[in-house]
Structure 1
Amino acid sequence: MSINTAREGHTYPAITYQVGREAVREFSIAVKAEHPAHHNLEAAADLGHQDLLAPPTFGVVISQRAEAAVVADPEAGIDFSRVVHADERFVHHHPITAGETLNAATTLERIRLMGAGAMVTTVTEITHDGDPRATVTSTLLVRTDEGDD
């Protein structure tokens, strides 16, 4: 199967993600984010936050769940067994904190065919009550069937 460039520009239905305190703490430990505001309610409150402050890269947890719709879309023609993650960039609009219910909508922004593969770029907008939290741009390198024996 080959990548379907006609899917470029398609936006997938948004997913919902409830940010939990333990998820923030566990992610913080995993990425070695040691600031007390990621682990302690008082430290977060001292900085003006309602709850634990998620590390800046916490948005990847939400964006990857939303981006899964692109890979699962049979019309897109992406074989996940042939995917290598190439790039990920974050634009932070507002901190993510525990207790927020976030929505994340992913758009298949660009498909650039090249040789026996394609660079597939997605943009995921993460919001809370309509207010932007983060924009995550991810690029996957997908090897296509062309050129296989």
Structure 2
Amino acid sequence: MPVNPELVGRVFPPTAPYLVGREKVREFARAVFADDPQHVDPAAAEALGYADVVAPPTFAMVIQDQTLQQLLAEPDSGIVLQNVLHAEQRFRYTRPIVAGDELTGTLSVTGIRAIGGNAMVTSEAEITDAAGAHVVTATSVLLVGEGEK
């Protein structure tokens, strides 16, 4: 089943709020080799004007993943996980993610482009804080292959 072109423009419901924990930020920082003290030491983050440790920029993927799971679960999407390759990722920040933030993501499918028998599916996850203020837009491009014939 090819990717459903009617996905373009589809907006998914907001995800459940995700409370950013200090230890999760520290774990993520270690995993991605982000060794700046602001990512692990509350005092270093506070010295920079933040309330708690600051997540590395790619931490937004934790919340974006919840939105992408909604897309992958759509029965009419035509997207089969085993045929998906994460091709591109971008982030546009209003402010950094900090431990203590409660974040929600809302996914929109913004484009589908056919390339041979494959499809490039572009989506944007608008990630906001508990007050509804924009924190980051995470843009993802998935390469969806045809699979076996």
TM-score where L is the length of structure 2: 0.94
Shift of 1:114: 2.3
The residue identity in structure 1 corresponding to 2:77 is A
Amino acid at match of 1:26: E
Alignment of 1:1-149 (within 5 A): 1-15=1-15, 16-128=17-129, 129-144=131-146, 148-149=148-149
Structure 2: distance between partners of 1:114 and 1:87: 15
How far is 1:3 from its partner?
1.1
Secondary structure, counterpart of 1:96 in structure 2: coil
- Measured in 2, the distance between the counterparts of 1:42 and 1:30 equals 21
**Superposed displacement of residue 132, structure 1:** 1.0
Aligned partner of 1:101: which letter?
A: E
Alpha-carbon distance in structure 2 between the residues aligned to 1:4 and 1:66: 18
Deviates more, 1:7-16 or 1:24-33: 7-16
RMSD: 1.1
Alpha-carbon distance in structure 1 between the residues aligned to 2:53 and 2:119: 39
Which consecutive residues of structure 2, in runs of 5 or more, have no partner in the other structure?
A: none
Runs of 5+ in structure 1 lacking a partner? none
TM-score (norm 1): 0.94
Rounded Cα–Cα distance in structure 2 between residues aligned with 1:54 and 1:97? 6
Q: How many residues align?
A: 147
Separation in structure 2 between the aligned mates of residue 114 and residue 57 of structure 1, nearest angstrom = 28
Helix, strand or coil at the partner of 1:24: helix
What is the Cα deviation at residue 105 of structure 1? 0.5
CA deviation string 1:61-119 (max 9, x = no partner): 11112111111111111001100111001111101100110011010111112221100
